Amino acid sequence: MTQDLQFEPTMVREAKTARELYEAVKANPARARFGFGERLAVVNIDFQQAYTRPDLFPKSAYVTDPDQIAHVNRISALARAKGMPVIWTRVAYKADGGDAGVWGTRTDTPDSLQNIKFDSERHAFDLRVQIDAAVDLVFTKRMASAFFESPLASYLVWKKVDTVVITGGSTSGCVRATGVESLMRGYRTIVPEECVADKHESYHYANLTDLQLKYADVVEVAEVEAWLEGRPDAPG
């Protein structure tokens, strides 16, 4: 016979903010890291105007660290100088939005996901990002994870990458989805805190906490820079 077991809820409830919880996790020196491997790729997610230009698109864009793009440009340039791949993604959909699938059915406003059209102002990369089109991999994705139905997985295998550094937005959406899938595919996964952004502090820090606890090393961008600076330059 099976016993009729019943337990009281064990979920922790406390008055700390999401940021306070994140800072407590971050300050724990005993937490083990995945660490860097031998060769990384920088995956820069959705630095397009729909999400980076609150002056143009205040309903969909967000800024967390004002220097985010400068940090991303710097680690991307360092990775290139070391012969390591840099990837840029953005989001857009065909004219009727049908390739957004069920994800595009909740709202239908000019700022809605499925209404980001190819070659539109929303689809355009922010002019501040420094993309080397001759070297970097650049593609348009349709779902949250940068791996989903994209060339990213095969590209990382070809480039012999073992570590994925993820930047961009949103922390609670595409960054988190890409981070989870990166770990599931066997990559050491790094999220530089200053290089990711979200609409609301609570979502941002709650997801940084979850990434740090389970799926990634959330570090300061200076740590990524220092690791790259310590690698030999690419030949030629």
Q: In this structure, what CATH number is given to the domain that contains residue 100? A: 3.40.50.850
Provide the residue range defining the domain that includes 49: 35-229
The model's pTM is 0.96
Question: Any alpha helices (H) in 66-196, and if so which ranges?
Answer: 68-81, 152-158, 176-184
Q: How far is CA 107 from the centre of its chain?
A: 24
* Amino acid at residue number 194: E
- pLDDT tens digits along 47-88: 999 999 999 999 999 999 999 999 999 999 999 999 999 999
* Domain-embedded: residue 84: yes
Mean pLDDT score of the chain, rounded to an integer? Answer: 96
- pLDDT tens digits along 139-184: 999 999 999 999 999 999 999 999 999 999 999 999 999 999 999 9
* Domain-embedded: residue 118: yes
pLDDT computed for residue 133 by the predictor: 96
* Domain-embedded: residue 41: yes
* Domain-embedded: residue 3: no
Collapsed DSSP state (helix, strand, coil) of residue 145: coil
Q: Which residue, among 140, 53, 124, has the nearest Cα to 88 in the 3D structure?
A: 140
Number of domains forming the structure of the chain: 1
pLDDT computed for residue 167 by the predictor: 98
Q: How far is CA 55 from CA 58, 59, 176, 198, 224, in A?
A: 6, 10, 26, 16, 30
Q: Catalytic pick from 41, 116, 156, 174?
A: 174
In the residue annotation, 174 being an active-site residue is answered as yes
* Domain-embedded: residue 156: yes
* Domain-embedded: residue 225: yes
* Domain-embedded: residue 191: yes
* Domain-embedded: residue 136: yes
